[in-house]
Amino acid sequence: MTRGSGKPAYVINCAKALATSNANVLVLDGLMYEQGAISLQIFEILGSTVVSEDGKNLYDLVRDYETLCAELGSPPVESDQGVSGRLRFPATSRYKGHIYPDVCARTIPLSGGLSISYLPGNNGQVVDVRERIDFQELYESRAGDQFFDYIKGALSEQFDIVLVNAPTGHQEISGILCGHMADLILAIDVDSPAVEPRASFEACTQLAESIRDDRGRDIKVKSVKGHRLEEIVQMIVQD
């Protein structure tokens, strides 16, 4: 998990290094409303493009989940009759007796027959005009906490390591992704007169403390400033 300026390049470089070490790696982009830099970094760093457009992005997954909950206010149970006929998408998974939308990633080929997987936040276009997700309603009325727990479980079954590009600032999705999915947050502080020293590390530490208070999850926070890529990869692997 990373937050801070320059994080897309860190994410992709770490993903490449991990995949080269034979880890099955997924990059999850948490940017759902704006155009992020992950796709650009994939091309510039890996010299590759996404080869499969199958599967939903993160925004679509949340919307599909809301479709599942539309009639009942919660995800339908497996025994519900006719559920598949009411859905606007064909693929579904089961989790704790309920039905959820499938979590499908794209494949990005690397040299030597290796690859990493990618789950984008949106369709790659600027989407400020799209309807924003009401996360308060999602949590209060539609068991949103279980939905994101399901996403973590689904990804954990498929991949050795999931690297999340979490939005900076106070976007709700950043706290949600970190709160439900992170075991480690890497804080990226840059040398700039416009940025306070250790500002990202302190912000990430506050986020981790808030998650511990709200959810009882202890998440480690480490600064990558001054560390080489090999050392950052070891931070990830050790946790």
pLDDT at 171: 66
Whether 139 is in a domain gets the answer no
pLDDT at 4: 46
Whether 43 is in a domain gets the answer yes
Whether 84 is in a domain gets the answer no
Cα(first)–Cα(last) distance of the chain, in Å? 11
Average confidence (pLDDT) over 42-64: 79
Query: Lowest mean pLDDT: which of 107-111, 173-177, 190-194?
Result: 190-194
Domain that holds residue 197: 2-54+106-130+144-238
Higher pLDDT, 129 or 119: 119
Higher pLDDT, 11 or 126: 11
| CATH number of the domain residue 32 falls in | 3.40.50.300
Whether 40 is in a domain gets the answer yes
pLDDT at 41: 85
Higher pLDDT, 70 or 169: 70
Whether 78 is in a domain gets the answer no
Higher pLDDT, 126 or 225: 225
Percent of the chain whose pLDDT exceeds 70: 80
Whether 191 is in a domain gets the answer yes
Are 16 and 23 in contact, with CB atoms under 8 Å apart? Answer: no
Higher pLDDT, 134 or 88: 134
Whether 76 is in a domain gets the answer no
Higher pLDDT, 129 or 204: 204
Residue 88 has pLDDT above 60, yes or no: no
Higher pLDDT, 35 or 79: 35
Per-residue confidence at 25, pLDDT binned at 50, 70, 90?
Answer: very high
SS3 of 45-113:
HHCCCCCCCCCCCHHHHHHHHHHHHCCCCCCCECCCCCHHHHCCCCCEEEECCEEEECCCCEEEECHHH
Average confidence (pLDDT) over 65-91: 67
Task: Please state the domain count of the chain.
Answer: 1
Whether 72 is in a domain gets the answer no
Are 10 and 233 in contact, with CB atoms under 8 Å apart? Answer: no
pLDDT in tens, 219-231: 999 988 888 999 9
Average pLDDT, the chain: 81
